[in-house]
Structure 1
Amino acid sequence: MSDDTVKTRLLSLDALRGFVMFWIMSGEHIIHALAKAAPIPVFVWMSSQLNHTEWNGITFYDMIFPIFLFVAGVSMPYSFDKKINSAGVKMPMELPQKEKRKIYLSMLKRTCILIFLGCVVNGLLRFEGYEQTRFASVLGRIGLAWFFAGIIYLNFGIKKQLLWFVGILIGYYLAMKLIPVPNFGAGVFTKEGSLASYVDQLFLPGRLHSIVYDPEGLFSTIPAIATALLGVFLGTFLRIQSNSTNKKLFILVASALVLILIGMLWNYDFPINKRLWTSSFVCYVGGCSILFFTFFYFIIDVLGYHKWAFPLLLIGSNSILIYMASEGLINFKHTAHFVFGGLIEFSPMIWQPVFVTLSVTIVQLILLYFLYKKKWFLKI
C-alpha cells in the first residue's frame, strides 16, 4: 500500500473505532453470557476483562474509552489536512488567524454538542432537577479533551506539542502528589481522598457518578488531553512520514512498548487508575492503543485485508449514534425478542441468554447497515 493511500483514508482507524465500540454496544454481554453457559477458562477470563477494575489496576474494559479518545486524536491531522492545504501552508501553526478562528468556532460547536449529548445519555431530558442531573460524561470528556488537544495542535509545532504532553502528565502527577486535600493530606489516591475527587466535589455541578468522585470529572479531564495528543502524534507521524512501511511499523511498536514500560514503572508511585486517569494510565493505555492500531493498520491498510472488518466499519462509521442508542435511547433487546424470540425459545435454556445477546447484535448491525447504505451518519 502506498503512502498516498495512507494519506487519503485510514480504514484501520474506522475499524479500530468500531472494534472498541462493539464491546460497549453488545459484545460484553455476549461474552458474559458465554462465560455462564460454557464456563471454560478462556470465556471466564474474557468476561473478567470486560468489567472495570474496582479502583487501581487495568482491564481491557478500562482501555475502551481512552482508545476511542486516542482514535479521535489520530483523526485530527487528517480532518484538518484539507484546511491546511487550501490555505497554502505546510503546518497548522502557520494558518492565518482568520482561518484559525473559523476552526476554533467549529471545534467549540462540536465540543458543546458532545457535552449536551453526554448529558442526554445521562438522562438530562428526564428533567429530574439540577441536583439530580449528572453533567460529566464520556462524550463530554471526549469533546473537552479533543478540543484542547486541537488548540495545542493548531498553535504549536511537534516539539512543543511533545512538551505539552510531558508537561500535562508531570504537572498532573505533581498536583495529585503534592497538593493537600482537607482531612486527607497530600498524595492520597483513594476515592474519597484524591485531589481529583476533591475538585469534583467542589466545582462539578449536579450529582457525581459515585457520590464522592466522578470518573469523567473536571480535574481528571486534564490528563485525558494527553491521551488525545498521543493520537495526534500518531496521526501526524503517518501523514507526513516518508519512511518505508516496515520502518513505520517498527517505530510504532517500539514507541508502544516504551510507553507501556513507562506506565508500568510509574505505577509503583502513581497507580494505574482509569477513574483518576492517572499519568501512568495514560502511558500504559497509550502504548496499548498504539499496538491495537498497529495491528489493524498492518492487516487492513498494509496487507489490504479489509472485507473481514466490514461489520466493524459499520459500527465505526456511526459510533456516537450506536453508543447513544445502546446506552438506553433504544431498547434493542425488545426488538430482538420480537424478531428472534420464537427461534430462541427452541434452543436449550442455558444457551438462550447467549442467543438473546447475539440477536441484539444482529439487530444493531442491521440498523447500522441500513444507515450506511443510506449514507446517514451522525457527524459532529
Structure 2
Amino acid sequence: MSNQSKNLRLISLDALRGFDMFWIMSGEHIIHALAETTHIPAFEWMSEQLHHTAWNGITFYDMIFPLFLFIAGASMPFSMQKKLQHFAVEEPFQLPSESKNALYWSMIQRTFKLILLGMIVNGLLKWNGYEQTRIASVLGRIGLAWLFAGFIYLNGNTKTQVFWFCFILLFYWVVMKLVPVPGFGAGVLTKDGSLASYVDRLFLPGRLHSKVFDPEGLLSTIPAIGTALLGVFTTTFLKSSYFEQRYAKIGIITLAGLALLLIGLVWDFSFPINKRLWTSSFVCVVGGFSMLFFVIFYLIIDIWGFQKWASPFIWIGSNSILIYMASEGMVNFGYTANFLFGGIISHLPEHWHHVLTACSVTFLQIILLKILYKNKVFLKV
C-alpha cells in the first residue's frame, strides 16, 4: 500500500459504523413491523435476530454493540497517524513522553464525557437520587474499553498488544471459572451467580441494570478491551507494509476472522458465548464477525469505489453518538414523524400502517442526519 493510501481516511469505517447504528436507531422497528405485517419467513427470521438472546448464545442484535466498539478500536491507528508523521516515528510507542501525556489526558477526558453522556441516556437529568442513578452504560463501556485499548496501543508494539489481548481473555476466563462466589461457588455463569455479577453488586456505584447484575458492569468491561484491540489489529495490519497487495491483506483478515469464529465456537464448550457477561468466547465470535463485516464494506466502498449506496450509512456513522442518544428516548421522533406523515399514512391501507409509520421515523432521522452532515455539524466527544 502506498504512503498516500496509508493516510486516507477509510470511508468504509464511517459506513460500517452507520450500518451498525441504523439497527439501533430505528431499523429494527421496520423489520419487526414487516414480520408482523407480512409473516414472510425471511422477515420473521430477521426479526428474531433483532432481539437479544435470553442468556447464552448469540444473535445479530448481540453483535451491534461490540461491532461499534471494534470500529472505535479500528479508528485508532488512523486518528494517530498525524502524530506519527509529525514526530517521524513508525510505531505509537515511539512517540515522545510529552506527546503521550497529552494524548493520555485527551483520552481520559473523552472517556469521562462518554461516561457522563451514558448516564444522561440512563436518565441522569431526571435525578431520582443516587441510589436510582445507573452509572454503567453502553457509552461508558465504549469509553473505558477504548481508553485502556489506547493505553496498550500507545505503549507496546504489535506483539506486546497481542500478548495483552490473549492475557485479558485468558485472565477473564480463569477468574470467572475458578474464583468462588459466596453462596454459589466457582464457575456459576448465571445472572446472580457469576463473579462479574457479584463484583458489580459489591463495587458498582448507584443502581444496577437489574437487581443482581449489570450487563455493562465492572469486571465484564475487561474483556471488552479485547474487542477494541481486535479493531486496532485489523487496521494496523491494513496500514502496514507487510503486503503491498490489498487483496492479499483482505484474504488474511478474512482468514483471521474465520479463525476467531472457530476459536470462539470451540471455547463456547467451556466458557459459553454470552453478551451480558462479555465472555472470552463472545469476544472471539463477535470479533470474527466484525472482521468479516469490515472486509465486505472495505472491499465494496474503499477498493471497488461503490460509495453512493452507502451515503445514508455515512451520514449516520458520522453522527453516531448524537443519533444514539436521540433515539434512546431523548428525542420523540415518532411524534414528529406522525405530525408530518400521519395524515398521508392514514389514507393508505390500514394493514401497512405499522410498517409505514416505522419507515417514516427512519426517513425523518436520515434526512436530519443528512442535513447535519452537509453542514458539517457533528457531535464530537
Checking the alignment, whether the CA contact within 8 Å between 1:315 and 1:368 is kept in structure 2 is yes
2:52 corresponding residue in structure 1: 52
- Alpha-carbon offset, residue 202 of structure 1: 0.4
Match of 2:362 in 1: 361
2:333 corresponding residue in structure 1: 332
Structure 1: give runs of 5+ residues left out of the alignment.
Answer: none
Please tell me the residue identity of whatever aligns with 1:301: D
Structure 1 distance, partners of 2:115, 2:48, is 31
Give the fraction of aligned pairs with identical amino acids, expressed as a percent.
63
- Supply the distance in 2 between the matched residues of 1:344 and 1:191 (Cα, whole angstroms): 43
Paired with 1:278 and 1:330, the residues of 2 have a C-alpha distance of 33
Displacement over 6 Å in runs of 4+: none
Cα shift at 1:374: 1.1
Q: Is the 8 A contact 2:181 2:193 kept in 1?
A: yes
Residue identity matched to 1:29:
H
Asked whether the 8 Å contact 2:201–2:212 carries over to 1, the reply is yes
The total of aligned residue pairs comes to 380
C-alpha contact 2:7 2:81 (8 A) present in aligned 1: no
Contact 1:6 1:301 in 2 (8 A): no
Q: Deviations over 1:37-82 (max 9, x none)?
A: 0011100000000000000000000000000000000000100110
1:21 maps onto 2:21 in alignment: yes
In structure 1, distance between residues paired with 2:258 and 2:227:
16
Letter in 1 for 2:33: A
Which digits, 9 at most, give the CA deviation of each residue in 1:182-210, with x for residues without a partner? 00000110111000000000001111111
Alpha carbons 1:7, 1:238 under 8 Å: kept: no
How much does 1:179 deviate?
Answer: 0.2
| Other-structure match for 1:71 | 71
Which position in structure 1 is the counterpart of 2:304? 303
Residue 84 of structure 1: how far off its partner (Å): 1.5
Residue 191 (structure 2) aligns with: 191
Matched position secondary structure for 2:182: coil
Match of 2:234 in 1: 234
Is 1:116 aligned to 2:116, yes or no? yes
CA distance in 1, matches of 2:3, 2:349: 52
Paired AA for residue 345 in structure 2: I
Question: 1:85 aligned to 2:67?
Answer: no
CA contact 2:14–2:318 (8 Å) conserved in 1: yes
1:20-169 to 2 correspondence within 5 Å?
20-169=20-169
Distance in 2 between residues matched to 1:358 and 1:233, nearest whole Å: 37
With the length of structure 2 as denominator, give the TM-score of the two structures.
0.98
Calculate the aligned-residue CA RMSD, in Å: 1.0
The residue type paired with residue 13 of structure 1 is L
Q: Secondary structure at the match of 2:186?
A: coil
- Secondary structure of 2:166's counterpart equals helix
Q: Read off the aligned partner of 2:80 and give its amino acid letter.
A: F
Deviations 1:79-124 (A, max 9, x none): 0110111122111111111110000000001000000000000000
1:286-306 per-residue CA deviation (whole Å, 9 max, x = no partner) reads 000000000000100111101
Q: Which residue of 1 aligns with 2:223?
A: 223
- Quickly say closer, same or farther: Cα 1:96–1:6, change in 2 above 3 A: closer
